Structures are given as C-alpha cells and as structure tokens.
Amino acid sequence: MYSNRMFMPLTPIVKNLMIVNGLVFLAQLTFQGKYPIDELFAQHHFLSKDFRPHQLLTYMFMHDTRGFSHILFNMLALYMFGSKLEMVWGAKRFLTFYLVCGVGAGLISGVATLIETYPVISDINFLQEHTSVKNYNALLSKYDWIHNGMTRAYPNFTEIVNSNPNDPEVIKSIFRVSGELKEAATGGSVVGASGAVYGLLAGIAYLFPNDMVMIYFLFPLKMKWLALIYGAVEVWAAIQNDPNDQVAHVAHLGGGLVGFLMVYISYRRGNRRKLF
C-alpha cells in the first residue's frame, strides 16, 4: 500500500493540482498589467476593499510571478508529500485534506493580520472621524512607518499642515491622506500553495515519522525532524516580523496546524468517527 521510495508515482489529484497551479501561473504572467487577476483572486486583508470570500480558496492556486522559485518549490513539495498521502487515502479524501489545509491557512493568516493591524486601523479611523492637525501629528508620532512613509511620499506635507492648522483645505487634505494610510495598512496580499503544502508536511510527518527524505538529494533526514525544523524556522521568522520579509510565515504555520489537527483527530486511538 505504501512504499518508502525516493521517487513516488505521480498520483491523479496531485497531477491535476500541479496542472491547475501551472495554468494559473501562466495566466498571471500573460495577463499581468492587463487584467486584475491578483486583485480578484489573491487573498487580501479582511478589511480591504478588494477582499472577497472566494479568495480564501483561490489564493492557494496563485504564486509570486517575480521568479519561478516559489511555484517550483511548492509543486515539488506537493509531489513529494502529496503523492504519498493520496496513495494512502485515495483521491477524494486527499483533495479534501489539501483544500481544508489551504483555506485554514488563509483564515489563520487573515485573522492574525487583522489582529496585528487593528490598532493602527482604529487610530486612522479616529483621525478620519476627528480630523485635525493635532490628531494627525499624534498618529505620526505613534507609528514610525507612517511618519517615514509620509516623509517619503509627501516631503513638505507635515510642515504645511502645521503652518496652517485652521485652514479648511488643510483639514480636507488630512482626511484624504488618512484614507491613503488606511489603504496602506490594509494593503498587500497572500498567494501560494505553501499553507496547504505545510499541511501535507504535517500530515505525512505524523503518519510516517521515520520515513527518510533526501535534503538537496544528498542528506537523509527523517520526516519528523524535517517537519520540526521547518516549523521551528517558521515560528522564529513569524516572531521576528521583519517588514522586509515578504513570506507569509503565519499562513505556513496555520496550514501545518490545521493539517496536524485533522490527522491527529482522525487517527487518535479509539476514535470511531474520522474527521475527514
């Protein structure tokens, strides 16, 4: 039923998922700048004007088009971990697991981003409701990224508004800028199959912890240690919260957590009703 071979056969669902991901990536490259594919199908901030519920599903079939490493790594991992699980579970159960992990990763990532950005969004909403030079300066002093961004985008804006605090046009300008700040706070998007793939990694590490995987085709490592190492790296990166880091680490962890819980609940001793 299960073979611990280095190269597994390409199973039907895994093959079709790879084809869909490849076709979507090709569409992204082809229609980039001509059709708003990213705006429609990437996962946006829950409070963004561009967010739609279907993005929790569609985002996992899209990838970063600035290179090929993102999609190649995810498709390789999908093949390595997904083929084994599909052989054990069958097509329907495997596809359910994959999609639930991906949607779960998007939900957890979206909620985490909402919690992280809610304070600044609340402060910007307060500025919009009580627009004044005083409240504008208070916002700049509270958030360095807003102060630095305003300095770059509008070098003389703060000096102008402070020189004319009672000018109605200044108040209108502050209100307009606050809208741009809110868009910046809810901007950005998440794409990629990584969350679902981390769910596969968690699932296969739980079911086959002692299987060997070849790192860079040279170094053998047990699957359980690979999952723990990748998990630890993602936790560390998520805690660092580097603004220059464009990787959705919380989505990776979310997918892994959902995958682990689904497999654990379904396979725990004495469980008569499987979760999926």
The answer to whether residue 251 is domain-embedded is: yes
Mean pLDDT of 229-234: 91
Tens digits of residue pLDDT in 16-41: 999 999 999 999 999 988 888 989 99
Q: What is the tens place of the pLDDT at every residue in 153-193? A: 888 888 888 888 888 898 999 999 999 999 999 988 999 99
266, pLDDT greater than 80: yes
Whether residues 150 and 257 fall in one domain: no
* Residue 272 reports pLDDT greater than 70: no
Q: Is residue 153 part of a domain?
A: yes
What token pair was written down for 185?
Answer: 């706070």
Residue ending a domain, choose from 157, 185, 213: 185
Claim to verify: residue 88 and residue 206 sit in the same structural domain? yes
| Domain end among 145, 166, 185 | 185
Q: Which residues pair with 219 in a beta bridge?
A: 215
110 and 221 part of one domain: yes
Would 215 be classed as within a structural domain? yes
* Strand partners of residue 214: 220
Report if residue 18 sits inside a domain: no
Instruction: Look at residue 9 and tell me if it is in a domain.
Output: no
Predicted local confidence at residue 9, as pLDDT: 87
